[in-house]
Structure 1
Amino acid sequence: MYSVITGGAGFIGSHLTDALVKKGDKILIIDNLSSGNLDNIKAYIKSGRVEFLEADLLSDGWQDSFAGADRVYHIAADPDVRASAVTPAPIFDNNVAATENVLEAMRIHNVGEIVFTSTSTVYGEATVIPTPEDYSPMIPISIYGATKMACEAMIASYAHSFNMKAWVFRFANIIGERSNHGVIWDFIHKLKENPTELEILGDGKQVKSYLSVTGCVNAVLFAVENSDETFNFYNIGSEDWISVTDIGEIITEEMNLKGVPFHYTGGDRGWVGDVPKMQLSVEKMKSIGWIPEETSKGAVRAACRSSIKEICGEN
């Protein structure tokens, strides 16, 4: 299997690379390193297990590298939900325009399969929780969510128009080693700078579902191996949720900080486009044989420990 991974030097992409190397795939990673880190994959490059091409999906010159590929894992994206409310254009370009470029390169070079990482934010503020894949209407409330929804639509249309096969995965909050954004990363950095107080955006009552990046990658590969429609789409997450305040308590505990006061900025959401309550239904994944083995709390605690080591240099 010749697999191309866009964004393969990033958080989820590098963990996917780990899994595909173990599977024995021939792998090409395309990454502009704007948020990815070459350290995540340099051992594979040095050993020859992975070929690396530094390129921007909005530019030209990388498209011919798709020749002969069997499958594209399109992971590259701008994931900053908060920034999308301030400067929408870069999010649109890096998500929608880049995805169109990937699909066109696939069409031109007859690449038959694409795996795409979408998001729970395509559902907006769902009134049905846990939220199933067939929930309607899907009304995203962030620019980021809207771009991912647009990408899903483009992928579905290309799959049906050009004899491709697609898998789209709507993720809960994916956390763990090598992450460079999100609430855990944010809290640890805040407490490292000032261990006497923790600022929490919103009222701290926001509740969301979390899953480890390893569990996420395993679920993706399981679904790809066990579903075979022209357009396959699945939620991936845990079957519970945890509040932002509870995450703060776990982090202070893991950092051995006692009696840290929490300061809340107020309001029921942390930023424009934040969805205060999110839990995805994973019944569709379970119907093809996937067994969820993690809780949000367990995933958060494990992610906190690995992130503290990375950020604070603790052993």
Structure 2
Amino acid sequence: MTSVVTGGAGYIGGHLVDHLIENGEDVISIDDYSSGSYVNEKAQNIKLDLRIAYPTIPKEAIIYHLAANPDVKTSMENIYEHFERDVKVTLNVMEMARKYDAKMVIFFSSSTVYGEGKIPTTEFDEIKPISNYGLFKVLGEEILKFYTRNYGIRGISLRLANITGGRISHGVVIDFIKKLRKNKEVLEILGNGKQSKSYLYITDLLSAVDVIVKYFKGLYDTFNIGNDDWVTVDEIARIVEEEMGLSPKHVYVDAGEGRGWKGDVRFMLLDTSKIKSFGWLPKYSSAQAVRLAVRDALDKV
């Protein structure tokens, strides 16, 4: 079986490439290296801007579509750039899937499609994004659904909680570590510190992908992928400080209503009953995932 990973040089994409190769699959990684730089030499690595073109791929491959701009905050500032990388790229990927009779397309969407919904949030709850990042993920899901309905391409949208650990390059853990390495006495925290979100360690995400590919038999569906609990930003700060042996003063920069920035979802906890029905369970809690991510990052940041 051939697996095609778009965004294979990125954080999640790079880990997925490694994982698929370890599972004995032939892997094609497609990336323009605009934000990611990871390369697994055992993969076929294609440098290509998917906004402009798509390559020739083997028939009946599984396509894991992760190519996108991963920064929620900048989606509210660089709107057209995010649209091109998030929506136009998805359309081109689906055209690639149609032309080469892809066996399945797995789209890595986001919990941001829900905005601030009820807690915990199920796959059947209202879609109401509050960031362009979330909006463009909704559009990506709709493109995938259209192609499954009209061209018979099987598809899955994975609505991810915050994924952390391994070679993570951005997000609150990296932000706190970098700030504390510059100033051990003061830690700037975006928002009011009470934002509460679910975190999942990268290996738990990879095991979830394995389970879905193995057991999903339908034409199209969506799955929440997240943890059973959540942590506050203040708790994340304390974990980072404990691992670094520091006790800084906290300074809060509130963008309004306790948000870290415009479009910041303050509370996120996903109902994962659907994927659990396949037998999947996360190995690590949200706090454990964050602590492992801090330890992973301290040697690299």
Structures share fold, TM-score greater than 0.5? yes
**What residue number does 2:160 align with?**
171
Tell me whether 1:289 sits opposite 2:282 in the alignment: no
Alpha carbons 1:203, 1:264 under 8 Å: kept: yes
Partner Cα separation in structure 2 for residue 106 and residue 234 of structure 1: 21
2:17 maps to what in 1? Answer: 17
Given residue 58 of structure 1, which amino acid in structure 2 is its aligned partner? Answer: R
- Structure-2 residue corresponding to 1:206: 195
Partner of 1:246: 235
The question of 1:57 aligning with 2:50 is answered yes
1:113: which partner in 2? Answer: 104
Alignment match of 1:264 (pick from 252, 265, 270): 252
* Structure 2: distance between partners of 1:166 and 1:287: 19
Please name the residue that 2:300 is paired with: 310
SS of residue paired to 1:154: helix
What is the Cα deviation at residue 108 of structure 1?
1.5
In 1, Cα distance between the equivalents of 2:80 and 2:227?
32
SS in 2 for 1:310: coil
Give the TM-score normalised by structure 2. 0.97
State the 1:68 CA deviation: 2.4
Distance 1:37 1:176 in 2: 17
Count residues with an aligned counterpart.
Answer: 299
TM superposition shift of 1:237? 0.7
Counterpart of 1:125? 116
Q: Is the 8 A contact 1:4 1:69 kept in 2?
A: no
- Structure 1 runs of 4+ aligned residues shifted over 6 Å read none
In structure 1, give the amino acid aligned to 2:45. Answer: F
Opposite residue 252 of structure 2, the aligned amino acid is Y
* Contact 1:122 1:146 survives alignment (8 Å): yes
Inter-partner Cα distance in structure 2 for 1:214 and 1:176: 8
The percent identity for this pair of structures is 41
Partners of 1:112 and 1:163 within 8 A in 2 = no
Deviation of residue 293 (structure 1)? 2.3
Unaligned runs of 5+ in 1: none
8 Å Cα contact 1:167/1:224 also seen in 2? no
Shift in CA distance, 26/69, structure 1 to aligned 2, threshold 3 Å: farther
Q: Which letter maps to 1:216?
A: L
Aligned match of 1:82: 73
Contact map agreement 1:172 1:237 (CA 8 A) in 2: yes
The TM-score, its normalising length taken from structure 1, stands at 0.93
